[in-house]
Structure 1
Amino acid sequence: MALAELGQVVLDCPDPRALAAFYAEVLGGTVEGDGDWVDVKTPDGRSLGFQAAPGFVPPAWPAPERSQQFHLDLTVADLDVAERGVLALGAKPLDAEDRSRSWRVYADPAGHPFCLCRC
Structure 2
Amino acid sequence: MAVAKLGTVVLDCPDPLALATFYAGLLGGTPSASEDGSWVHLEGDGGAPLAFQEAPGHVPPQWPSGEDSQQFHLDLMVEDLDAAEQEVLTLGAKPLDVEDRGRGWRVFADPAGHPFCLCAC
TM-score bin (small chain): over 0.9
TM-score (structure 2 length as normaliser): 0.93
- SS of 1:43 mapped into structure 2: coil
Question: Partners of 1:49 and 1:15 in 2: how far apart?
Answer: 12
The unaligned stretches of length 5 or more in structure 2 are none
RMSD between aligned residues: 1.1
Pairs within 5 Å for 1:83-94: 83-94=85-96
Encode CA deviations 1:2-45: one digit per residue, 9 max, x unaligned. 10010010000000000000000000111111411000124326
Counterpart contact for 1:24–1:42, Cα < 8 Å: no
Partner SS state of residue 67, structure 2: helix
TM-score (norm 1): 0.95
Q: String of CA shifts for 1:53-93, please: whole Å, max 9, x gaps.
A: 02111001011333211000000000000000000011000
Over 2 Å off, 4+ runs: none
2:40 pairs, out of 26, 38, 41, with 38
Report the counterpart of residue 51 of structure 2 in structure 1.
49
Contact preservation (8 Å) 2:76, 2:119? yes
Aligned length: 119
Q: Which amino acid aligns with 1:8?
A: T
Partner of 1:65: 67
Q: 1:113 aligns with which of 103, 110, 115?
A: 115
